[in-house]
Structure 1
Amino acid sequence: MAKVIITGCSRGIGYQLAQLFSDAGHEVLALSRNDEPVRALGLKNLQCFPFDISKESSLAEVGEFIETHWKRVDILIHNAGMLINNSFEATTTKQFEEVYKVNVFGVAALTRTVLPYMPGKGHVVTISSMGGVQGSAKFPGLAAYSSSKGAVITLTELLAEEYKESGPSFNVLALGAVQTEMLEEAFPGYQAPVTAEQMASYIMDFALNGHSLYNGKLLQVSNSTP
């Protein structure tokens, strides 16, 4: 059974992923700022604690947990994300920084923390967005969010190249619209064609098996845009 770290587990896709992996018998470290929802599940092979991907103290706590309890990590899923829907002129530099701290800098920092414990056959999966894919449909108000999601696509390609001889594998999934709380907050009333449960099931299968076929690849997981 795999040892799996998942970020952004308080709701939506991450919440579903934590349950799916745990129910399948894998050991799960579910990370989110608010750990109460996933803690309330009471799953025996799931551990959690409050985690802020933008803070060094939280990153250090993850490293300590791995060193003390697991010694290795087989799968790291970067699911945590921050979305601001605001016109470009009204989006401040501070807001841009807040989005990038979670969606880009946090992804890089947590990857650096976990890498020493990942075997060559490990798999790092980053959740991006169709809005970050070059040539895809773009939407006003998402300058910070979509540009950050484009950044982690390129970061994934670079890390796959840097670690291609030793592993682990790095892949990125650009998701289309999924019915989550974050989508509802950004686009009130919009009904996505895919549920969080459906997408979580796909992501789990890809995290477990996709690196046998892919490395440094962007997969577009969408039947619509946004």
Structure 2
Amino acid sequence: MVSKVILITGASSGMGFETAKLLAEQGHIVYGGARRVEKMEPLKEFNVKPLKLDVTIDESCKNAVQKIINNEGRIDVLINNAGYGSYGTVEDVTIEEAKRQFEVNLFGIARLIKEVLPYMRKQGEGRIINTSSMGGRLVSYMGSWYHATKYALEALSDGLRMEVADFGIKVILIEPGGIKTDWGHIAADHLAESAKGGPYEEQAKKTAEGMHKQYDGKMMSDPKIVSNAISKAVNNKRPKTRYLIGFGAKPLVFAHTILPTKLFDWMMKRAS
């Protein structure tokens, strides 16, 4: 296997942490980016190189990529893994919070893509791996703004894939279902907080409690299923365009495709 120079964002915890560790163990040169550099200290044991990176700041993205180029002379793979979920109804979530989700989940990704593309184009090859979600292909109850960011990421990735194909650059989407990380608890807490004192408070509280139970239970998939999929996207000569993986992903996307909209909506509300 040829060693590749890789930048992965959101490497301080969860799926990003596990993926950075796995790729470094495979012999790749891995740079892990995150705002909280101290949380990546354990990754040094596996030769992951921590980088302070805030994807919402242009200069931070530029500096991170430039440091890799200065050190390694190339960048082969960008893994856009940073992101978060802030659940709440369209009415309850402030526009400021909605914008923040788009800044992290979409525009931060675009910033890094714009930084790496000139180098990948010059190399005549490269891979951009975007961590989306099954939530980029269906919508769960009271998650409208989060899902809007993931639907947008799916469209951005599909358009980008066609634009850069002639330069030898591949664009790959990772679409996890339910994964056992803190993501679900954070999203549920945002939901309950956003609805306090409003017309959706009772249902939001019930939905948040259901989310906590789901993510505390045993049904969610291990984060390693995501790192394994990303590993395939990095290492396989002909990677898939999409990796739909994890708890509920394939059956729910299939159901969304074949069921009447009203029935699917009823099902998602009942599942909350």
TM-score normalized by the length of structure 1? 0.90
Once the two structures are overlaid, the 10-residue window that deviates more, 11-20 or 60-69, is 60-69
SS at match of 2:78: strand
Q: Give the alignment of 1:48-87 within 5 angstroms.
A: 48-87=50-89
Q: CA separation in 2, counterparts of 1:44 and 1:62?
A: 20
1:52-101 Cα distance to aligned partner (Å, 9 max, x none) = 10001211211320231112111111111121011221111111110000
Structure of greater Rg: 2
- 2:157 is paired with a residue whose SS is helix
Q: 3-state DSSP class of the match of 2:213?
A: coil
For 1:213 and 1:35, locate their aligned partners in 2 and report how far apart those are by CA, in whole Å.
31
Please name the residue that 1:206 is paired with.
Answer: 233
Indicate how the Cα distance of structure 1 residues 41 and 162 shifts in structure 2: closer, same or farther if over 3 A, else same: closer
User: Contact 2:128–2:171 at 8 Å: present in 1 too?
Assistant: yes
Paired residues in the alignment total: 220
The CA deviation at 1:212 is: 1.5
Aligned residue in 1 for 2:224: 197
How far, CA to CA, are the matches of 1:45 and 1:58 in structure 2? 22
Superposition map of 1:32-181 within 5 A: 32-43=34-45, 45-118=47-120, 119-133=123-137, 136=138, 138-181=139-182
Mapped contact 1:125–1:173 kept (Cα < 8 A)? yes
Cα deviation for residue 163 of structure 1 reads 1.1
Deviation at 1:173, TM superposition (A): 1.6
Q: CA RMSD in A?
A: 1.7
**Pair 63,203 (structure 1): closer, same or farther in 2 beyond 3 Å:** closer
Whole-Å Cα distance in 1 between the matches of residues 51 and 186 of structure 2? 25
Instruction: List alignment gaps of at least 5 residues for structure 1.
Output: none
CA distance in structure 1 between the aligned counterparts of 2:165 and 2:172, rounded to whole angstroms: 12
Identity of paired residues, percent? 26
CA contact under 8 A between 2:130 and 2:172: conserved in structure 1?
yes
Unmatched runs of 5 consecutive residues or more in structure 2: 188-210, 253-272
Shift of 1:131: 1.3
Moved more, 54-63 or 188-197: 188-197
Letter in 1 for 2:242: L
Summarize the alignment of residues 12-31 of structure 1 with structure 2, pairs less than 5 Å apart.
12-31=14-33
> Quick one: distance in 2 between partners of 1:149 and 1:109?
16
TM-score when scaled to structure 2?
A: 0.76
Give, in whole Å, the separation in 1 of the partners of 2:150 and 2:124.
26
C-alpha spacing 1:71/1:97, structure 2 compared with 1 (3 Å): same
3-state SS of the aligned residue for 2:79? strand
What CA deviation, in whole Å up to 9, does each residue of 1:143-182 have, x standing for no partner?
A: 1111101111111111111112112110112110100111
- 1:219 — aligned with what? 243
Which letter maps to 1:165?
D
| Superposed CA offset, 1:33-59 (max 9, x none) | 112122233236321122110001211
Distance 1:59 1:197 in 2: 27
- The Cα shift of 1:213 comes to 4.4
